[in-house]
């Protein structure tokens, strides 16, 4: 068994899924919420910074409205979320208050991470809340966000929040014990105790969808773990209903599946890799791919073979190798039409072709994050 002796955890992000907060009826599971909140309050009182990313707004709204099933259309989900979000926050406020802890609601969308200024503003807000000993209760802004509801991806949101505030540990609590080496319902399937690299095999094991109450699944948790690993966070997937699960995980007990961090990206490159909106693709040859991946080089026009999308200067694009795999993302110095004209050419030809040359590189290595 791997050694889970952590250095003292200063900052913790815990994500609780819909299935862990509500019964199949959609009604809130108050007993489970109380036992999870008690553990978080105790860690908070110990001096640990705690951030809670919570799903359940749509599910709680479904229960309150007496709907027989989870809504299928975006407007229906948004209406349910508008009712459920207030219920959810009120529940957290009431229970945390019993332990003398103040909470504050933070609603985020993907745009808050995609726009660099909003990204930094969100970071400053959360840092200030923690400085005032407030536990941020974070959710996607389901009443206005479309893609976020459709994806149901609070797992990824929690990983991005963890990177945003430089957390030490991310805990993803769900209705499953962790990642299994086969279908969890199949006799003989065993839980994978630790993961050090997320490869194709791990992604295949993640499988598909979530429950009728939640919309996520193991695949979104694997994606979240990848984001966290590149942000320097330890990530653990575990079952929310396990007794004292958060306390046990923080103490290093080998429960659930742990994902060990890889090389930590600096804040700007982390934003490029996981926060910024991707506006197009650039395809490169093998030589350019090797130069970027092995030697940390910038992307020059000579290595570019193709362009896809209508991006502008300063946008973020994906860089694809000849085998069709995304190897990096970066901020471009030239617009798509300009890259199309200079692709395959030497840097000395740029001014002759375009009539000007602002940069030698199409993407500088300082503005590039490898996958």
Question: Which residue ranges make up the annotated binding site for substrate?
Answer: 55, 142, 154
Q: What is the dihedral of CA 232, 215, 53, 58, to 10 degrees?
A: 160
Phi/psi for 239 (5° steps) reads -85, 130
Handedness of CA 245, 247, 253, 258 (dihedral sign): positive
Annotated binding site for ATP: 15, 174-175, 215-221
State the Cα–Cα distance between residues 118 and 53, nearest whole angstrom.
19
Give the angle subtended at the CA of 168 by the CAs of 89 and 226, to the nearest 5°: 90
Q: How far is CA 177 from the centre of its chain?
A: 20
Element (H, E) at 104: strand 102-108
C-beta separation of 114 from 275 below 8 A: yes
Neighbours of 10 (CB within 10 A): 12
C-beta separation of 281 from 316 below 8 A: no
Neighbours of 240 (CB within 10 A): 24
Structure-block tokens of residue 11: 């900052």
Handedness of CA 30, 35, 40, 41 (dihedral sign): positive
C-beta separation of 341 from 354 below 8 A: yes
Q: Which of 297, 165, 299 is nearest to 228 (CA)?
A: 165
Structure-block tokens of residue 226: 């990848």
Annotated binding site: 15, 55, 142, 154, 174-175, 215-221
State the Cα–Cα distance between residues 149 and 146, nearest whole angstrom.
6
256 in the Ramachandran plot: left (φ > 0), alpha (ψ -120 to 50) or beta?
left
State the Cα–Cα distance between residues 194 and 216, nearest whole angstrom.
21
**Residue appearing with tokens 């590189």:** 361
C-beta separation of 44 from 26 below 8 A: no
């Amino acid at each position: 068994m791997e050694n889970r002796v952590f250095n003292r955890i200063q900052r913790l992000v815990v994500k609780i899924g819909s299935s862990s907060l509500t019964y199949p009826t959609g009604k809130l599971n108050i007993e489970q919420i109380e036992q999870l909140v008690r553990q978080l309050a105790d860690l908070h009182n110990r001096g640990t910074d705690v951030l809670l990313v919570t799903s359940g707004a749509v599910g709680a709204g479904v229960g309150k409205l007496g709907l027989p099933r989870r809504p299928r259309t975006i407007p229906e989900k948004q209406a349910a979320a508008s009712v459920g979000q207030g219920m959810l926050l009120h529940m957290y406020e009431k229970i945390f208050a019993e332990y003398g802890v103040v909470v504050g609601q933070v609603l985020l969308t993907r745009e808050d991470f995609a726009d660099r200024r909003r990204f930094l503003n969100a970071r400053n807000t959360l840092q200030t809340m923690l400085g005032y000993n407030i536990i941020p209760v974070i959710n996607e802004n389901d009443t206005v966000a479309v893609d976020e509801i459709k994806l149901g991806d609070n797992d990824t949101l929690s990983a991005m929040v963890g990177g945003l505030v430089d957390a030490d540990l991310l805990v993803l609590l769900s209705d499953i014990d962790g990642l299994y080496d086969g279908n969890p319902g199949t006799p003989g399937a065993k839980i994978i105790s630790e993961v050090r690299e997320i490869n194709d095999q791990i992604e295949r094991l993640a499988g598909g969808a979530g429950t009728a109450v939640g919309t996520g699944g193991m695949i979104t948790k694997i994606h979240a773990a990848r984001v966290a690993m590149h942000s320097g966070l330890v990530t653990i997937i575990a079952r929310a209903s396990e007794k004292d699960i958060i306390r046990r995980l923080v103490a290093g007990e080998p429960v659930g599946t742990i994902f060990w961090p890889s090389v930590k990206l600096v804040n700007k490159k982390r934003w490029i890799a996981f926060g910024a909106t991707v506006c197009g693709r650039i395809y490169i040859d093998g030589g350019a791919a090797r130069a970027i991946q092995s030697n940390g080089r910038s992307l020059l026009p000579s290595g570019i073979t193709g362009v896809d999308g209508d991006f502008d200067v300063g946008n973020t694009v994906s860089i694809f190798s000849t085998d069709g795999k995304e190897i990096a993302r970066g901020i471009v110095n030239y617009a798509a039409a300009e890259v199309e004209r200079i692709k395959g050419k030497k840097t000395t030809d740029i001014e002759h072709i375009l009539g000007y040359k602002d940069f030698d590189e199409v993407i500088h290595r300082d503005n590039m994050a490898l996958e």
